[in-house]
């Protein structure tokens, strides 16, 4: 079983995701970041783009964010987005 990290993805209006994941990939101000358990603590701004969450078992969930911040601690990742939606929610609207 892979090591996991707790991830929360929230926007101003709602919590979109909360759970254990294997990896979180975000578009940081200085480039893409892949975050695993034990990552060095970090606080950085997010560029508009995708946040990819790799869940236990390898399932991937994608969220689109308009910007915001990501806070990384050794066992938690918090994505604080200005606005965010699940990628499959936007696909259903098309």
64-91, pLDDT tens digit by residue? 999 999 999 999 999 999 999 999 865 5
pLDDT at 2 (0 to 100): 76
pLDDT at 90 (0 to 100): 55
pTM greater than the 0.85 cutoff: yes
Structural domains present in the chain: 5-93 (2.60.15.10)
Residue 91: DSSP 8-state = H
Phi, psi angle pair for 88, to nearest 5°: -70, -20
The model's pLDDT over 10-66, given as tens digits with 9 standing for 90+, comes to 998 899 999 999 999 999 989 999 999 999 999 999 999 999 999 998 999 999 999
pLDDT at 94 (0 to 100): 47
């Amino acid at each position: 079983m892979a090591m996991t990290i707790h991830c929360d993805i929230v926007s101003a209006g709602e919590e979109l995701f909360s759970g254990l994941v294997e990896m979180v990939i975000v578009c940081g101000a200085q480039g893409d970041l892949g975050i695993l358990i034990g990552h060095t603590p970090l606080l950085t701004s997010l560029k508009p783009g995708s946040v990819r969450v790799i869940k236990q078992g390898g399932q991937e969930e994608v969220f689109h964010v308009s910007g915001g911040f990501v806070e990384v601690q050794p066992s938690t990742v918090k994505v604080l987005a200005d606005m965010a939606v699940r990628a499959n929610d936007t696909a259903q609207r098309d």
